[in-house]
Structure 1
Amino acid sequence: MEYRTDLEGITAGMLEGFFVGWPDPPSEETHLRLLRNSSHRVIAVERESDRIVGFITAVSDGVLSAYIPLLEVLPEYQGAGIGQELVRRMFGELDHLYMIDVCCDDDVVPFYERLDMHRTNGMILRNYSRQSGN
């Protein structure tokens, strides 16, 4: 597995299969745009097939804080440690900051706790009519 922070040579067509279970998922073109517009990103590329199998994004002020809005691994690659490695590498990209925040569903809290994150209270606002990013 190759982990990269650049998007050189990455096309929208290489981003198929993500956002499983989303009622109105972003298109591959929107996915590429959000990767480009993120302050930081790490992608997991399977060397043999040159297929993108996972990614993580972060948005940061570059001074004190960062927020990780998205971590996805294709279903057939889950359970192989790719998600953990993506998070570890993102933590490395952001290790100069005071805080790194993630809002997540209860079922993935243990995943983040294994990576030394701590449960806290948080608030979110979702505009589901804009879920696709279009």
Structure 2
Amino acid sequence: MIKYRSDVDGVTEEDLSGFFVGWPSPPTRRLDLLRGSSRVVIAWDDDRVVGFVNALTDGVLMAYLPLLEVLPEYQHTGVGTELVNRVLDDLGSLYGVDICCDDDVVPFYERFGFQRVNGMVLRPHLKPRIRP
């Protein structure tokens, strides 16, 4: 049975291996990413981390969900849906919650009421900034 916790107590770097499948340049210091988040929800199957979501927020107006990760063998089992529902509940009634995602997962987020918008991102590791 999957259990959900809103803390990183007991999580190790090793617990976070196996995630970020298909990322061209997966993040390092994964545990630090979770520790530095405003909110986090972690899915556990016994003593194994099988998924997580994190949020960055000012707590008043906006939040951003940078990561939702579920181990491949736990995808399409409801774990991701539960993680998103729990973090949204935890964030409360903010003006907005933003995400950036690949096209193939847009239908997943649309089920929660997310809508497509125009946006911009800066990824310095992909292309350096132009300086005058």
Q: TM-score, normalised by structure 2?
A: 0.89
Residues 75-118 of structure 1 deviation map (CA, whole Å, 9 limit, x = unaligned): 11100011111000010011231110111111111000111212
Residues 20-42 of structure 1 deviation map (CA, whole Å, 9 limit, x = unaligned): 11222223xx0000000011111
Q: Which moved more, 1:52-61 or 1:17-26?
A: 17-26
Describe the SS at the equivalent of 2:20: coil
The size of the alignment, in residue pairs, is 125
Tell me, in whole angstroms, the C-alpha distance in 2 between the residues paired with 1:25 and 1:119.
25
Q: Which residue pairs with 1:9 in the alignment? A: 10
Rg larger in structure: 2
Larger helix proportion, structure 1 or 2? 1
Q: What is the identity, as a one-letter code, of the residue corresponding to 1:11?
A: T
Tell me, in whole angstroms, the C-alpha distance in 2 between the residues paired with 1:69 and 1:94.
14
Q: Which runs of 5+ in 1 are unaligned?
A: 130-134
Moved over 2 A (4+): none
Q: Which residue pairs with 2:55 in the alignment? A: 58
Q: Which residue pairs with 1:132 in the alignment? A: none
Coordinate RMSD, CA, aligned: 1.2
Q: Which runs of 5+ in 2 are unaligned?
A: 127-132
Per chain length, whose mean CA-contact separation is higher, i.e. which structure has more relative contact order (CA < 8 Å, sep 6+)?
1
What is the percent sequence identity of the aligned residues? 59
Q: TM-score, normalised by structure 1?
A: 0.88
